Structure 1
Amino acid sequence: MKRKHERGSLLVMTALVLPLAIGVCGLALELSMAFQRQSQLQQLADTVALSAAQQLDGSASGIAMAGSAASVVVANRQVRGVGRVWLNTAVLSFAAGPDGPWLEYSAAQGAPGDLRYARADMAEQGEAFTMLPVAFGRLLGGSDATTVGARAVAGPNGLRVLPLAICAPSSSAVATRYNGPGLEERIEYGLRFGVAYNLLALNPAPGASSGEYFLVDPASPPGSPALPSSTDSSQVAPFMCAGKLAYNSLAGALHVRRNAGFELWQQLNSRFGSYGGSEGCDPYAAPPDSNVREYRGALASWISSYPPQAAAAASTPAAGKPLASVADGAYPLPAIAPAQYGTLWAYGPARRSNNSNFQFSHWNSLYPASPAFSATGTSWPAGGVYNNTGFMTAPTGYPGRKDRRLLYVPLLACPLPAGANVDGTVLAVARFFMTAQASATEVPGEFAGILSAKEVAALATDVELLR
């Protein structure tokens, strides 16, 4: 049995410790509530930034959609100490790069330009979204309450543009080609819709005998220091597989490298389900197209000549004339063997000067041949060949992804300075459709148009939280 004074001491100790224990329990509960509140605020900021950044396309309507999308995703969200959330667009700001400068919502609508990044700052939602409880604030060294910041920045982590650049055959954005009365054709930067070009065999230099093409530094954006090692083939290979650059804008001087030979053709062929060669592609990161049929020979059966090659043959330029394809000479073109035109209209037809489509019946006027193209028993499938089920082959081994055969290629203002590692100015981004697999000497791409600024912005689609 305990003595009376021992029992008294225990009561005294209990009386002293109990308030402290209650206080510690209360503080622990308050800490738990504070951390939960901070977590909810940060999740809210992350959600707002991500949903907003996914809507940005360089237009004022994109900014408006960013505000609407962010409001929708947080509607009816609950935050401890606040209750239901109704988003104030003052939370949002926008920038061309992840480090700003940031434009608030209304200013961004007036100058949407290259804005591709969204920032959410929950402090702009009001004081209730930043204050922590009094006791927790004092614990952190504050007076009565402490403010905390819940911010998030989201934006693209890359641009779906190929790290292969070519010289623009012409500096004219749009021109008209005369093919005879009533047959005026739309030309963009010197390229004809529906003609498949060897992207390694174009050069606007007068009398050039070889093509001019460049590997793009995929990791050093314009405005950053050039890193020559970044354009080594081994470094560019995974970006060629994915068809992507690790930055979101081509504005400024693009870092490129001249090549003695093209080594990355096998990486391009991942689009056909071919994964051989060194520095091979990962089929899950670089899947085949959903249609891997090569359009050459008998597989180009809508063309009476069954062209053995996938791209038009190169011209033999005279002095003062650029290296182009046989389809690009001045009117009237000489009649040549039909096969020399390569595969035609696999993705889409030639365009009239008013941007409407030519018909299959115009082939012999657009592409003079001897013997002439035969229309007997042949016709160009409505809606194109690539998207026509009668001209499709599904990949085997791996699931396909539609439009992987579309290459988005920077067109440079040439000539570029002499030397291996140089800088070039991008005039535009061209869309080319791979008509067949590439080789060390040929990348066959049918011209399918120049992308608008909005379309280029839409290539920066892989949006993620950056901080």
Structure 2
Amino acid sequence: MIKQQGLRAGIKSRQHGAVAIIVAICLVALVGLLGLVLDLGHLYVTKTELQNAADAASLSGAKELNGRLTGINNAISKAVEAAGRNKFNLQSQALVISSADIRVGACHTSGCMVPITSITTDALAANKTFLEVNTGRHNLGTWFAQVLPSIISNMATSAVAVAGKYAADITPIAICQLANPGTTNELGYERGVSYKVSAANPIGPGTMYWIDPESATPGNCPVTNTNAGRPYVCAGKIGFTPVVGQTVNTNSGNSLGPFFEALDSRFDMYPSSAQCDPATAPPDANIKEYVPGSAPGLADQWMGTDPVQQSITFVDSATNGACKPNKPCKAKPYSLRTATDYGVLWAGNRPSGATVAQWSTLYNGNTATSYPETSPYAQTSGDFFTAPAVAHRPGIPRRRVLNMVIVDCSAAGGNCRPVTVLGVGRFLMQRKASLPNSDKDLYVEFGGLLPTPLPTSDIKLYR
């Protein structure tokens, strides 16, 4: 009995400290796991900081891309500057990137991207509308995780962001390059002169060229033959950036009525068939029409030779006679014009540097009287101004100015036919395209080509 008691006492004596050892081992594991959680949290926060910096840098840089080398250089500067305003590693280190960390491309996928430093000419910059920023890998020392065996003592993370244009300020209408009229012109168009869009085409008078607002890929036209194009007409935007020298897809078969009604949202008209919403397609701040006629605010108040038509006379491209169905038309050559061949002039635009004293020389005897400087359209009160409905005020200035692609129409039109983009022009809608006018058509006054090949666009993050 005494022997058994001694044996038990010996065993008990040998177990002294075992609990302490177990607790010590558990504490090491617990501290290690706690450290791992903290270190992973550190990694996650740093990753988020780097991603935010990459996002900001790519957005800032992408806004500068304008199809020219100057835009490329500005994009580098803005992206580097935006990245430098951000910190990482729990806001303890400033992020530094360089041009070596930036790529650009014609689409947002990685396969489209090239180093931004490889873009050395305007030609190479022409279609670069997306910008990628890579922050590079940054090492982070662990705090507690290395207490555990086999746990790395350093972690690393990085971030990449791509931003680019997605909603270009382009009305989905194409207008054809015109023959040189013998005056100062841009792709055949003269500033301050009005044109009937359906006459400026190779098919003959009465045909409009609409462009697919979602795709520039030849043969791929998801919208152009459907009413789904109306919201794009309402807003005056398309889902891609047309690039000079590349193609857009045209269609000459759309129903004109609803599309013209969609254009007239700029004049504060919102019939249900147009599918326009004032919230996304607001009216212009000045909805006054500038048309021939004798009434306050009409063209005869500033034009000495009363216009008898809305736009310049179009003639047969080959004979200079009257336009004929299915035959190409052109604006009447300057040498053949008289004052009555002009429509409403200078409603919102004029040739660069021109004054009303030059009208007789510029327009074959036409004169200006009581011209409201700077233009009728620029007025904010009086006969040449009409505000939109109270519910839609103040409207958006220059909403009636349509950015339209000018294309090479040497080939006849058709459904989903690719045509080459030659430029983007600014055109002022002088009057409504639809009701209450009996002559339903789009009349626009040319205001010049965009100063850069690429139109302004909304910018968004892609990845």
TM-score over 0.5 for the pair: yes
Which residue in the other structure is 2:378 paired with? 387
How far did 1:120 drift?
Answer: 0.7
Matches of 2:51 and 2:108, distance apart in 1: 18
Match of 1:328 in 2: 332
- Distance in 2, matches of 1:257 and 1:425, equals 14
Q: Secondary structure at the match of 2:61?
A: helix
Give the SS at the match of 2:108: coil
Q: Which aligned runs of 4 or more in structure 1 are off by greater than 6 angstroms?
A: 4-10, 134-139, 324-327
Q: Distance in 2 between matches of 1:429 and 1:232?
A: 23
Residue type at the aligned position of 1:463: I
Q: 1:319 to 1:243 in 2, by over 3 A?
A: same
Deviations 1:333-372 (Å, cap 9, x if unpaired)? 3464xxx7432101122x3xxx542x32444454458xx7
For 1:137 and 1:164, the matched residues in 2 are separated by: 64
1:260-297 per-position Cα deviation (integer Å, ceiling 9, x unaligned): 64130111111122211314212122122222222224
Letter in 1 for 2:311: A
Matched residue SS, 1:278? helix
Opposite residue 356 of structure 2, the aligned amino acid is F
3-state secondary structure, aligned to 2:45: helix
Gap change, CA 1:142 and 1:198, over 3 Å in 2: farther
- State the shift of 1:157 in Å: 0.8
How many angstroms apart in 1 are the aligned matches of 2:177 and 2:146?
62
Counterparts of 2:119 and 2:146, CA distance in 1: 36
The TM-score, its normalising length taken from structure 1, stands at: 0.79
What SS does the corresponding residue of 1:292 show, helix, strand or coil? coil
| Alignment match, 2:83 | 74
The share of aligned pairs that are identical, in percent, is 28
Letter in 1 for 2:195: Y
Check 1:43–1:380 CA distance in 2 against 1; reply closer, same or farther (3 A cut): same
For residue 326 of structure 1, report the CA deviation from its aligned partner. 10
Residue 269 of structure 1 is matched in structure 2 by: 264
Cross-structure match for 1:91: 101
Quote the offset at 1:79 in angstroms.
1.2
Query: Secondary structure in 2 aligned to 1:231?
Result: coil
Q: Which secondary structure does the structure 2 equivalent of 1:427 belong to?
A: strand
- SS of equivalent residue, structure 2 residue 163: strand
Q: For residues 233 and 294 of structure 1, do their structure 2 counterparts lie closer, same or farther at Cα, with a shift above 3 Å needed?
A: farther
Find the partner of 2:119 among 96, 108, 129: 108
User: C-alpha deviations, 1:414-463, integer Å up to 9, x for none?
Assistant: 243464332222222222111121128211100112334x2x31x14211
State how far apart, in whole Å, the 2-side matches of 1:64 and 1:133 are. 39
Cα RMSD after superposing both structures? 3.5
- The DSSP-based 3-state class of the residue aligned with 1:157 is strand
Code of the aligned partner of 1:406: V
Instruction: Kindly indicate whether residue 346 of structure 2 is the aligned counterpart of residue 348 of structure 1.
Output: no
Matched, 1:295 2:300: no
Distance 1:318 1:62 in 2: 39
| Contact persistence 1:406–1:433 (CA under 8 A) | yes
1:413 corresponds to = 408
Q: TM-score, length-normalised on structure 2?
A: 0.80
1:28-43 alignment to 2 at 5 Å?
28-43=37-52
Partner of 2:54: 45
Are the counterparts in 1 of residues 178 and 330 from structure 2 also a CA contact under 8 Å?
no
1:118-174 deviations in Å (ceiling 9; x for gaps): 111111xxx5x25574987999x996545433100011113211211122222xxxx
Post-superposition Cα deviations, 1:216-239, rounded to whole Å, max 9, x if no partner, equal 11111235x413x51124111111
User: Alignment partner for residue 189 of structure 1, among 187, 190, 195?
Assistant: 187
- The answer (yes or no) to whether the contact 2:250–2:414 under 8 Å persists in 1 is no
**Partners in 2 of 1:76 and 1:167 — Cα distance?**
46
Any residues of structure 2 matched to 1:130-169 within 5 Å, and which?
133=142, 145-169=154-178
Deviations 1:380-428 (A, max 9, x none): 2333222233433333322422221111122222243464332222222
2-structure distance, mates of 1:463, 1:211: 36
| 1:94 counterpart letter in structure 2 | V
What is the rounded CA distance, in whole Å, between the counterparts of 1:438 and 1:142 in structure 2?
72
Secondary structure of 1:331's aligned partner: helix
Number of aligned residue pairs? 426
Say if 2:261 and 2:269, in contact at 8 Å, map to a contact too.
Answer: yes
1:278 aligns with 2:277: no
Q: Secondary structure at the match of 1:407?
A: strand
CA distance, structure 2, for counterparts of residue 78 and residue 318 of structure 1? 63
Gaps of at least 5 residues in structure 2 are 1-11
Query: SS of the residue aligned with 2:206?
Result: coil
2:267 and 2:284 in contact (8 A); partners too: yes
Aligned match of 2:73: 64
C-alpha distance in 1 between matches for 2:312 and 2:59: 47
**Which structure has the greater CA radius of gyration?**
2
**Equivalent residues of 1:34, 1:136 under 8 A apart:** no
Mapped to 2, the partners of 1:19 and 1:214 lie a distance apart of: 75
Amino acid corresponding to residue 462 of structure 1 in structure 2 = D
The 5 A counterparts of 1:193-204 are 193-204=191-202
Indicate if the aligned counterparts of 1:222 and 1:252 stay in contact, CA closer than 8 A. no
3-state SS of paired residue (1:408)? strand
* Structure 2 residue aligned with 1:181: none
For structure 1, which runs of at least 5 residues remain unmatched after alignment?
A: 178-184
Aligned to 2:8: none
Cα 1:279–1:346, aligned 2, differ >3 Å: closer, same or farther?
A: closer
